[in-house]
Amino acid sequence: MTALLERHSRSIWLAVLLLALGGMLAARSMPVSLFPHIDYPRVVVAIEAGDRDAAQMAAEISRPVEVALRSVPGVTRVRSTTSRGTADVALNFAWGEDMVSATLATQGALATLLPDLPVGTRFDVRRSDPTIFPVLGIALTSPSLDQQALRQLAELKIRPALTAVQGVAAVDVLGGTPRELAVDVDPARLRTFGLSITDVADALTKSNAIRGAGRIEDRHRLYLVLVQNTPTSAADLLTTPIRAATGNGAALVTLRQVATVRPAAEPAYVRIASDGRSAVLINIRQALSGDTVAIVRAVDARLRALGLPATVTVTPFYDQSELVTGAANAVRDAILLGAILAGLVLFLFLRSGRLMLITGLMLPAVLAGTCLLLYPLGLSFNMMTLGGMAAAVGLVVDDAVVMLEHIMRRMQEGVAPDVESRLEAAAEMGRPLVGSTLATIVVFLPLSFISGVSGGFFKALAITIVTALTLSLLFSRFVIPLIAARWLRQSDAEAAEKADRFMHRLERGYVRAGNRFFGRPGLAAAIMGGMFLIAGTLSWYQLPSGFMPVMDEGGFVLDYTARPGASLADTDRLVQQVEAIVSATPEVASYSRRLGVQLGGGLTEADEGDFFVRLKDGSRRPIDAVMADIRQQVEAKVPGLQVELVQLMEDLIGDLTAVPQPIEVKLFGDDSATLETSAGRVGKALANIPGVVEIVDGLRVTGDAISVKIDHGLAAQQGLEPDQIASQIEALVGGSVATHIRFGEQLVAVRVRGAQDLRSRANQIANLPLTAPDGHGVRLGSIAQVGIDGGQKQLTREDLAPFIAVTARLEGRDLGSAMQAVQAKVGGLHLPGSVRVDYGGLYAEQQKSFADMAMVFAAALLLSALLLTYLFENLAWTVSAIATVLLAAGAVLLGLWITGTELNISALMGLTMVVGMVTELVIFYLAEIEGGATATLAALREAGSKRLRPILMSALIAILTLSPLALGLSRGAGLQQPLATAIIFGLIAAVPLVLLFLPALLLCWPATRTKA
């Protein structure tokens, strides 16, 4: 191998150069995003069917849709929420399902069902993926332009420009309702001519037509014959003829005689604001393969080049690229700082500038090569791949250090004076180096078998680390020996001697500890092992648990709900009080507000909406403190409003998986009254649990309804049919769009409706004037009973079974202990036997992820045991090594408890990585026992003495390279903080465990016990 390495050294150098150059080019081409691409197994169907009663909507539309969609292949759960005229049906599939095919199958099932549903039913099928939330949100405000003008600007100028930006999936415009032409009919004039309001609408519909009448070929040209009758202005509309019937016979009147036409806005029960002013919001959504940072930069450039009016102010209210850039910078800084600290450790122990430079050159080359291999896999720079690179820095440097330290030791011993002997010294480390690298790699193999959020997130991290370690192994085995053999000098070995005084002190301390330990190895191993075991066990029971790591995203969502059925104006007044609280908070940089619609879409009533609050950069209170402060102020000062505050990414992941709230108590039952009573009791019980806040009892009332019950007999006497009555009421109250007029590329609706003074109050509905087919007038109250139906509720079902979900969030408390308290409280209520209780929310996803990660941890232990057995073929060594690894895992739990870090999926990933990293140290230690000889006390002492320096260096380098991430100093670093903390404490414990506990335990085996 040495001769082969010498012979092909030039090709190796060229390969290294090409790998580094290709990696730099790949890094420039890789997209940048917040999270890795994950196919979330969820499809949401939004249904609109006009203005309908919720119960009628459920019976006629929601339930048939649920039944049809339940048969879509791969569906595991169907959940629906039905309101007045709208419904959301969410389909959950198994993780790993082809979601493109699942979406197409859902659309196919709905297309088959559509002919059997009421006319006018519309569907919108969308996959649940991160593109439902914008990567950039901007607000348009102006002191001179009204909302319609801003809407026109957004629709006609800004949206086309931004849609063309590469990587943009869609541009959504909210606020500034579209303009239309209002045709206000005069009921008195209608009665004069014996017309109904539907006659006016029908006349307008028929008067606007373009029809092709064929083609004519004449004199070498082909002509299309078009019959056109299209009004182009309000004046044209006023001349529209309407056939009237009076007692004296038929007559023709024009629209001018019975109505007026004026510019108006489309009726909408939505209010949009930004920083206290009415605004039009533009949400830019990213394609799945888009580059977040590039998109935001391109959008900013397009906006600057558009030449918008000087009075229009463009304010970003959400910018995901700031979080992405902050996270990327945090990881970049961690890599740079970690590399510097690793160099200092290397200098401390070996005092060689050449060794530091060799290591410093290897690190960027390996990371560049990693980028080159990640690029064809379709991975992006995101929080997981960048975190994987940061976590791999210590491992990469460790491989280089192990090889360089061994070569340097041989040079100090005088057995490697020339190039050939140094290459032979490097070959001696080949087998331990391969084994130690495999020990870390094998722990990631079980990740390929898990699904869910944890699998989706950490597969990207695992691929990154495995790629980096594979390249690191190749560099350390083939490249570094070539550099070291030719570049190192005897002066480097002499410089390393200067560090021996420092090492001699460490060795003397190790010998003294060894004398005490190895004198009575069984007792010492039992005491040390018992201490770690007790500490780990106590920590397990005291350790708080969560799901995703909490990080400061620099902004949060404030969802609010007013009193059920509250008017838009009343809700708006309450929300303005919240605006005052938000704007008075010193940490707030800007905010946007929606009423009647939400940032991520979905079913929204007119009495609910949300804020997105953007915080200032720099020094400020933690985001949790700001959120808690605003929540407490709102609860104290705006009692008519119920609020929920959550960071956007937590809300997004919750929406993409199932339910965004951490706590969800699902109550199933067939008796609605019993369910409602039980839900109220559960909600009150949860309110008594410390740390459980923002409790929603699931009894969502959409509001009241004005009920018009037609007396068929009286209606028939007047010559009116129910459908005719409903059509006239709809036109008088809500208005009906009769036709559209084209202005350039826009179609402007023409809405026919009754005058405002006919429908401004609920008690006026009974006085609405109707027109019978023979032209005589009828008052609605004379043929129908008009009353108020109060408290119409939203209806929720899961897998066709009615249920009510009681949800809550947490403040200052971990998810695990809170759920234990919730389950205890609910169990103590002794709910009726007909009510079935289940638990969902993020807690359900946490339980699945924890079960998956426990499987990964167990598999990592077994694979490490297999690797150790293969390398040394000694079961006693394998059992002792696995015991050492398990005690290090106990130290991880203790470290998490001491630092107040939750046991979440990031910490569990760190715990799993500790298995590989401690096994790596064990392999280096055991490899020093020549040829697998009997582990006598002398052999174990000698192995410890030889491996003391590299083990200390490996542990210190890994700890120092991960410390910037563990401290979480930068925004966005929180996702990797638990992982780094877990590894650091595992390695701190690994040093005494490998150097003292492991040899003491080996001495306890009969085959290895011998006299010193």
**Which ranges of 873-936 would DSSP assign to H, the alpha helix?**
875-899, 905-926
For tokens 């197409």, name the residue.
Answer: 104
pLDDT at position 931 is: 55
Confidence of residue 1012 (pLDDT cuts 50, 70, 90): very low
- pLDDT of 252 over the 90 cut: no
Distance CA 58, CA 46 (A): 13
Question: CA separation (Å) from 326 to 322, 332, 386, 394, 1007?
Answer: 6, 10, 12, 22, 56
DSSP line for 734-751: T-EEEEEEEETTEEEEEE
pLDDT in tens, 654-696: 777 667 788 999 999 988 889 989 999 999 999 999 989 888 8
Percentage of residues in the chain having pLDDT higher than 70: 95
Say which residue the tokens 């009116």 belong to.
Answer: 720
pLDDT score at 738: 85
| H or E segment and range at residue 874 | none
Lowest-pLDDT choice from 171-175, 740-744, 794-798, 858-862:
740-744
What DSSP string describes 167-231? TEEEEEEESSPPEEEEEEE-HHHHHHHT--HHHHHHHHHHTSEEEEEEEEEETTEEEEEEEEE--
CA dist., res. 244 & res. 195, Å (int): 6
In this prediction, residue 18 carries a pLDDT of 92
Report CA dihedral (448, 452, 453, 458) to the nearest 10 degrees: -10
pLDDT in tens, 415-431: 777 778 888 888 888 88
Q: Band the pLDDT of 582: cuts 50, 70, 90.
A: very high
> Would the pLDDT of 70 be above 60?
yes
pLDDT, residue 888, reads: 95
pLDDT of residue 977: 87
Burial class of residue 364 in the structure, from the number of CB atoms within 10 Å of its CB (0-12 exposed, 13-18 middle, 19+ buried): middle
Could you tell me what percentage of the chain is helix, strand and coil, using 3-state DSSP and rounding each to the nearest 5? 55, 20, 25
Please write the tens of the pLDDT for every residue from 629-661.
999 999 899 988 888 888 877 777 777 766 778
- Residue with the two structure tokens 């019959």: 227
Query: Is the model's pLDDT at 792 over the cut of 80?
Result: no
**Beta-ladder partners of 937:** none
* Alpha-carbon gap, residue 845 to 842, rounded angstroms: 5
pLDDT of the residue at 364? 87
Is the pLDDT confidence value at 933 over 60? no
User: pLDDT at position 788, please?
Assistant: 81
Tokens matching residue 505: 């002190």
* Tens-digit pLDDT profile for residues 374-430: 999 888 888 888 888 888 888 888 888 888 878 887 887 777 777 788 888 888 888
C-alpha to C-alpha distance for 822 and 326, rounded to whole angstroms: 36
- pLDDT value at residue 982: 94
From first CA to last CA, the distance across the chain in angstroms is 38
- Strand-pairing partners, residue 92, are 42, 77
Collapsed DSSP state (helix, strand, coil) of residue 608: strand
Q: What angle do CA 874, 880, 882 make, to 5 degrees?
A: 100
Asked if the model's pLDDT at residue 164 lies above 50, the reply is yes
User: DSSP letter at 997?
Assistant: I
- Please report which confidence band the pLDDT of residue 451 belongs to, taking 50, 70 and 90 as the band edges: confident
Output the six-digit token pair for 206.
């028929």
Q: What sign for the dihedral angle of Cα 707, 710, 714, 718?
A: positive
What is the model's pLDDT at position 1011? 39
Partners of 43 in beta bridges = 91, 127
Predicted local confidence at residue 332, as pLDDT = 74
Q: Which of 394, 371, 460, 438 is nearest to 980 (CA)?
A: 394
The answer on pLDDT for 862 being more than 60 is yes
CA distances from 3 to 427, 446, 489, 763, 783 (A): 11, 38, 21, 100, 105
Distance CA 180, CA 747 (A): 9
> How sure is the predictor about 500, in pLDDT bands with cuts at 50, 70 and 90?
low
What's the whole-number mean pLDDT along residues 192-205? 86
754 vs 757 pLDDT, higher one: 754
What sign has the CA pseudo-torsion 661, 667, 671, 676?
negative
Q: Is 252 exposed, middle or buried (0-12, 13-18, 19+ CB in 10 A)?
A: exposed
**What was the pLDDT predicted at 300?**
93
Q: What integer is the mean pLDDT of 126-151?
A: 86
Whole-number pLDDT of residue 971: 57
Q: Average pLDDT in the 223-245 region?
A: 84
Q: Which pLDDT score, from 0 to 100, does residue 1010 have?
A: 41
Residue 246: what pLDDT? 53
Mean pLDDT of 71-91: 90
**Average pLDDT of the segment spanning 605-616:** 86
SS3 of 68, please?
A: helix
* CA R_g for the chain: 36
What digits encode the pLDDT tens for the residues 569-580? 888 889 999 999
Average pLDDT, the chain: 85
> 351, 369, 371: which is closest to 361 by C-alpha?
369
Residue 196 has pLDDT above 60, yes or no: yes
Pairwise CA distance, residues 333 & 970, whole Å: 9
Whether 893 and 985 have beta carbons less than 8 Å apart is answered as no
Average pLDDT of 17-33?
Answer: 89
